Amino acid sequence: MKPDPDALVLAPVSLVLPSSSFIARHAFPILFLGLAFAAFSPIFVRLSEVGPIATAANRLALPLPLFFALLWFRPQDRLPLASTAGRHDLMLIILSGVFFAGDLVLWNTSVLMTTIANASVLANVTPIFVVAGSWILFNERPGRLFAAGMTVAMSGSAIMMVASVNRGESSLEGDLLAMGASAFYAGYVLTLSRVRKRASIVSTMAISGAAASVILLALATLTEQQIWPHSLDGWLVALAMTVFVQISGHMLIAMSLAHVPAGLVATMFLMQPVIPAGVAWILFGENVTIHQIIGALALLAGLEISRRGTAK
Q: CA–CA distance from 18 to each of 258, 282, 289, 306 (Å)?
A: 11, 38, 44, 33
Q: Summarize the chain as % helix, strand, coil (round to 5).
A: 80, 0, 20
Query: Model's pTM, two decimal places?
Result: 0.80
Angle of helix 64-73 versus helix 201-223 axis, rounded to 10? 150
**What's residue 265's pLDDT?**
61
3-state secondary structure of 294: helix
Q: CA–CA distance from 89 to each of 63, 95, 106, 170, 276 (Å)?
A: 22, 10, 26, 39, 34
3-state secondary structure of 261: coil
Length of the chain: 312
3-state secondary structure of 179: helix
Whether the Cβ atoms of residue 28 and residue 256 lie closer than 8 Å to each other: yes
The b-or-e profile of 20-42 (16+ CB within 10 A means b, else e) is eeebeeebeebbbbbbbbbbbbb
Mean pLDDT in each 10-residue stretch from start to end of the chain (312 residues)? 50 46 77 84 94 95 93 87 82 92 94 86 71 67 73 75 65 87 83 77 88 96 93 95 88 72 62 78 80 78 71 54
**What's residue 250's pLDDT?**
77
Whether the Cβ atoms of residue 12 and residue 258 lie closer than 8 Å to each other: yes
* Backbone CA torsion sign across 278, 189, 106, 229: positive
Whether the Cβ atoms of residue 245 and residue 4 lie closer than 8 Å to each other: no
